[in-house]
Amino acid sequence: MKRVLVCLAPGFEEIEALTVVDVLRRGGVEVIVGGTIEGPIEGRSGISVLADMSLDEIDAERLDMIVLPGGMPGATNLKEDLRVQDIVQSLHKRGKYIAAICAAPTVLSALGLLEGKRVTSFPSVKDQLSETDYREERVVVDGNLITSRSPGTAMEFAMKLLELLCGREVMEKVNQGVMAKLSPSD
Amino acid sequence: MKRVLVCLAPGFEEIEALTVVDVLRRGGVEVIVGGTIEGPIEGRSGISVLADMSLDEIDAERLDMIVLPGGMPGATNLKEDLRVQDIVQSLHKRGKYIAAICAAPTVLSALGLLEGKRVTSFPSVKDQLSETDYREERVVVDGNLITSRSPGTAMEFAMKLLELLCGREVMEKVNQGVMAKLSPSD
């Protein structure tokens, strides 16, 4: 079974984070919601969520993917978290999937992982990604790197992550089950 | 300011519930997340959310809308909750908005509110809505009644609720801000 870490920090964007958790679990992926702090974590829209565990407890070597939601100050909190940095670097070295949406691609940029890479992001942080091959697309895949733009692209982002982890057939089945309007490949 | 209650019961569908909370709050609506139980409430995909308050504390007379998310057994738990029944009846009597998605239109059907009404739902519960004027559309509005189908229609549902509460201009602004693919009226 594939194992995915979705990171939550105070100020995370709720739709971006939780759509991914929901869709991947529907596809049979083991999703760990890992929190930067103990106790309830409040998102940017005031919804408080309990993480499954602290990032202190994460074994990066056993992950197939990390997902970084956007939202402010959630993305800034992720960027400044040494554990997030270490886990991302561990996945990068092993060629595993690294996914970021909205403002969160800036977390990867700060680690020097995006130079020359095809990426997208929330439009307002585009200027912080000047070293990239920036695309105005809703979901962008470049090798093991997946980026997306906003709460409104979260469902397409989640479906693309599921397709990469479990194949097109599983993704299509979940896509039909939740009646998402478009598969990311359409 | 418009005041909306989103009800959470154990087994609620996370995308359906939280997309509505997030989108409405972005539009300036006062959203109360009301729980059927105390403490963290676990959704059908295993995400635990803290409600803002218990349904015991809700003053139905001050609400402009109630939103019932789907998910199982979340919708069944809502159906069996006397407080949910009372709040829905209060809103119905005052002609205020009543919104339900996925399996949750069955909560309204059990209260006898859907006879002859244009509604939709998750396809698997269509048989429980035989008294209605059932539509295979993603979001259906009939007077003060708004229904929708699934996690994949939650964004369109949320945008329609925002449009009804705050007008088309506010909805379009939020829609552009989150980069949702389609407005519900397109």
CB contact under 8 A, A18 and B46: no
Query: Which pLDDT belongs to residue B182?
Result: 60
For chain B, domains (ranges, CATH) are 3-178 (3.40.50.880)
Read off the pLDDT band of B183 (50, 70, 90): very low
- Which residues from A are below 8 Å from B45, CB to CB? 21-22, 25-26
Read off the pLDDT band of A186 (50, 70, 90): very low
Choose, from B102, B129, B145, B146, the residue flagged as catalytic: B102
pLDDT of A10 higher than 70:
yes
B102 classed as catalytic: yes
Alpha-carbon gap: B119 to the closest alpha carbon of chain A (Å): 17
The whole-number average pLDDT for the span B3-18 is 98
Q: What is the pLDDT of residues B27-61, one digit of tens each?
A: 999 999 999 999 999 999 999 999 999 999 999 99
Nearest residue of A to residue B152 by CA position? A180
More confident residue, A181 or B153: B153
Task: With residue A31 as reference, give the H or E element that holds it.
Answer: strand A30-35
pLDDT of B186 higher than 50:
no
Interface residues of chain A, partner chain B, Cβ below 8 Å: 13-15, 18-19, 21-23, 25-26, 33, 40, 43, 45-50, 138, 149-153, 155, 175, 177-182
CA atoms within 13 A on the CB side of B125: 25
Tell me phi and psi for residue A109, to 5 degrees: -60, -40
Q: What is the pLDDT of residues A123-173, one digit of tens each?
A: 999 999 999 999 999 999 999 999 999 999 999 999 999 999 999 999 999
Alpha-carbon gap: A150 to the closest alpha carbon of chain B (Å): 6
Which of B14, B23, B149 is the closest to A18 by Cβ? B14
Report the C-alpha gap between A158 and A99 in whole angstroms: 10
* Dihedral sign computed on CA atoms, order B137, B184, A101, A57: negative
Query: Which pLDDT belongs to residue A184?
Result: 47
- Which residues from A are below 8 Å from B19, CB to CB? 15, 19, 151
End-to-end CA distance of chain B: 27
Which of A22, A33, A47 is the closest to B15 by Cβ? A22
> From edge to edge, which strands make up the β-sheet containing A48-50?
A41-42, A48-50, B48-50, B41-42
ipTM: 0.96
Q: Write a three-state SS string for chain B.
A: CCEEEEEECCCCCHHHHHHHHHHHHHCCCEEEEEECCCCCEECCCCCEEECCEEHHHCCHHHCCEEEECCCCCHHHHHHCCHHHHHHHHHHHHHCCEEEEECCCHHHHHHCCCCCCCEECCCHHHHHHHCCCEECCCCEEEECCEEEECCHHHHHHHHHHHHHHHHCHHHHHHHHHHHCCCCCCCC
**Secondary structure class of A77 (helix, strand, coil):** helix
- Which residues from A are below 8 Å from B181, CB to CB? 138, 152-153, 181-182
Q: Give residue A67's region: left, alpha or beta (phi > 0; psi -120 to 50).
A: beta
Q: pTM to 2 decimals?
A: 0.97
